[in-house]
Amino acid sequence: MIALLTRDMRLAVRAGGGFGLGLAFFLIVVVLVPFGVGPQSALLSRIAPGMLWLGALLACLLSLDRIFALDHEDGSLDLLATSPLPMEGIVVVKAFAHWLTTGLPLVLIAPVLGVLLNLPGPGFGWLVLSLGLGTPALSVIGTFGAALTVGLKRGGLLLSLLVLPLYVPTLIFGAEVARRGAEGLAVATPLALLAGITCGTIALLPFASAAVLKVNLR
């Protein structure tokens, strides 16, 4: 499993779907926001948590179609399906590799981009915490969507349409944690719901993704 994780991380970086692409898109979104809503500091401070979360969510979408597509094209996915590793374990490794190459860099760069949007000081820690807790759910949900569309030509748009509605609860509670933290309000309820979503997706979706992959590979 460690060898598979290392291989997937190398493929993600070499294919252009890793660190650089997601971070560049995240930066572009944050830089364009002041041009769209105006340079008012008070307005930017108010919308900063939601915009940072939305930018991170959209950046995660960019590399979802590569999770299984490369393996399917070169036949590696068929070999993995017949390996001693359970398909659920392969799905978990794929999702973890996506989070390491896409989600984790977004979590680390978010405070720097928060400065550009005039994010209030108390909100930086809560922003990092909410992204660190919520981005694993984005990767697991995205892996499920990638499993549904594996083998489809030009399935990137369909994948986005399938995954975006499933991302909405994570976006709502993640942005709410960051917003309440920035305003000094209680964050216990949205934080618990965000943690519940992440734990639920990690516990259930790998089995659903494995089942879908087995059907698509028949």
Check residue 201 and give its pLDDT. Answer: 96
What DSSP string runs through 37-75? Answer: H-S-HHHHHHHHHHHHHHHHHHHHHTTTTHHHHHHHHHT
Report pTM.
0.91
Q: How far apart are CA 63 and CA 43, in angstroms?
A: 31
How would you label 97-128 residue by residue, b for 16+ Cβ within 10 Å and e otherwise?
Answer: bbbbbbbbbbbebbbebbeebbbbeebbebbb
What mean pLDDT comes out for the span 53-80?
A: 83
Residue 118, sorted as left (phi over 0), alpha (psi -120 to 50) or beta, turns out to be left
User: The tokens 């991380």 sit on which residue?
Assistant: 9
Residue 199 has a pLDDT of 97
Per residue in 133-182, pLDDT (tens digit) is: 999 999 999 999 988 888 777 667 788 889 999 999 999 999 999 999 99
Instruction: Give the pLDDT score at 84.
Output: 80
Report how far apart the first and last C-alpha atoms of the chain are (Å, whole number). 24
Residue 87: CB partners within 8 Å, gap ≥ 6?
80, 81, 210, 213, 214
Confidence category of residue 10, pLDDT binned at 50, 70, 90:
confident
Query: Is residue 12 pLDDT above 80, yes or no?
Result: no
pLDDT band at 205 (very low <50, low <70, confident <90, very high): very high
pLDDT digit string, tens, across residues 111-128: 999 999 999 989 999 999
| Residue ranges making up the domain that contains 44 | 2-216
Q: Which residue has the higher pLDDT, 202 or 19?
A: 202
* In the block, residue with structure tokens 């549904």: 148
Q: Where are the alpha helices (DSSP H) in 83-155?
A: 87-98, 104-116, 123-149
Residue closest to 173 by CA, chosen among 158, 185, 189, 157:
189
- Give how many domains the chain has, as a whole number: 1
- Report the percentage of the chain scoring pLDDT > 90: 53
Q: Are 114 and 48 in contact (CB under 8 A)?
A: yes
Burial class (CB in 10 A: 0-12, 13-18, 19+), 41: exposed
Tell me the residue type at 127. L
Average pLDDT over the chain, rounded to an integer: 88
Over 70: is that where the pLDDT of 76 sits?
A: yes
